[in-house]
Amino acid sequence: MRLPPTIVTRAWRESFNLAQLLPEARTIATARTELRWITEYVEEKMTDQAGKGMKVSDSDFQDKISRLCYLRGQKGVPLQYLLGSQPFGDSLDIKCRRGVLIPRWETEEWGIKIAQGIRKNHPFFTTAESDGDELTEEAGTDTDVSETASQTFKVLDLCTGTGCLALLFAEQLRAPMAKSVYVEGVDSSLDAIDLARLNRAMNARAFERYGTSVVFTGADIFYFDIASDQFDIIIANPPYVSEEHYCSPRYTSRSVRRFEPKQALLGGIEFYRRILQLAREGAVPAVVCEIADQQQLQDIVDECVDDGWAAGGMSDSAGVVRTIIAWRKELSGWSWMKQLINV
């Protein structure tokens, strides 16, 4: 969609760099925000250079800003690829590079809601050992000892990409004393696994002190198997964009189509079918996956969720149905998840 001439004129009057950003930013306010981020990034880089004894001039500073604004606004390069990272969760800084999908705010939002819900309501986190051999409930959850017996809470993140979700859960889930949290991220892309491992190393301070471990495994989920009772929850942001929506500027921007990996975007019901199959085969109590919209939610529920599961959808803050939440009906330790369902 073409920009109104009045907006373009306002941008030019304010700043050449602001006008350069406008084709992708689309609004003056967004362009200002992106220009501020770019300026701060260049300032940080040039301060580092100056600290190493390298000569830094004001013209170099302005040239670098203008170059990044040109690449962002005129060529459509995603800001995260230009700046090299994306803030995520409470303290994570997720490194980004071409060939691996950029973390989205929608993913961050539902990830935090689910992780905080687990920490607040799941028996593993709400019960504590008393006198060495007795479990005492703190949150009044209707459960039995078998659901709290394990000393490690295990999360499986399928289609992990940058590792942002796996690391978010590692950051958010802090195990009770004498217990631990284990998170495993899986992706078929070796580029993604390499980047996820880098992100684990760069963000280790956010979770290692809480007795949490994170590993990343290169594997295709269609050929990946898990042992029974190995994981407590599967989370996933699988490829879910249809070919029609991928090719439509209304749903997928030029920037996404041109620079982000197509294989991480294009997909559909086959991924959810496989994820639910893995959950059944591995006796995984709960599954949470990102989805495209309400129609896709209905398709997944109709085709992939059997009578042994309860399932529903959760909308994001923009009102889009963004997540399917499913758990085994017979396990009371997960019944709290129905509180999150609003679709």
Where do the domains of the chain lie?
A: 5-76, 99-340
Amino acid at 132: G
69 SS3 class: helix
Number of Cβ atoms within 10 Å of the Cβ of 61: 15
pLDDT at 127: 80
Q: Residue 283's closest CA among 331, 246, 235?
A: 331
Whole-number pLDDT of residue 51: 81
Contacts of 205 (CB under 8 A, 6+ apart): none
Query: Is 128 within 8 Å of 240 (Cβ atoms)?
Result: no
Q: Tokens in use for 130?
A: 């008393």
What the block records as the tokens of 292 is 């495209």
CATH architecture type of domain 99-340: 3-Layer(aba) Sandwich (3.40)
pLDDT of residue 147: 55
The DSSP output letter for 84 is S
What is the pLDDT, as a whole number, of residue 125? 92
Q: What is the pLDDT of residue 148?
A: 55
pLDDT computed for residue 128 by the predictor: 56
Identify the residue whose tokens are 């590692």: 170
End-to-end Cα spacing for the chain: 31
pLDDT at 140: 38
Q: What is the DSSP string of 251-279?
A: TS-HHHHHHS-GGGTB--HHHHHHHHHHH
d(CA 156, CA 148): 18
Beta-bridged to residue 178, according to DSSP, are none
Q: Where are the beta strands (DSSP E) in the chain?
A: 85-88, 92-95, 127-130, 134-137, 152-158, 180-187, 212-218, 233-236, 286-290, 309-315, 321-328
* pLDDT tens, the chain, 343 aa long: 688 999 999 999 999 999 999 999 999 999 999 999 999 999 999 888 878 888 778 899 999 999 999 999 999 999 999 999 999 999 999 999 999 999 999 999 999 999 999 999 999 998 854 333 333 333 334 444 445 567 999 999 999 999 999 999 999 998 888 899 999 999 999 999 999 999 999 999 999 888 899 999 999 999 999 888 799 999 999 999 999 999 998 889 889 999 999 999 999 999 999 999 999 999 999 999 999 999 999 999 999 999 999 999 999 999 999 999 999 999 888 999 999 999 8
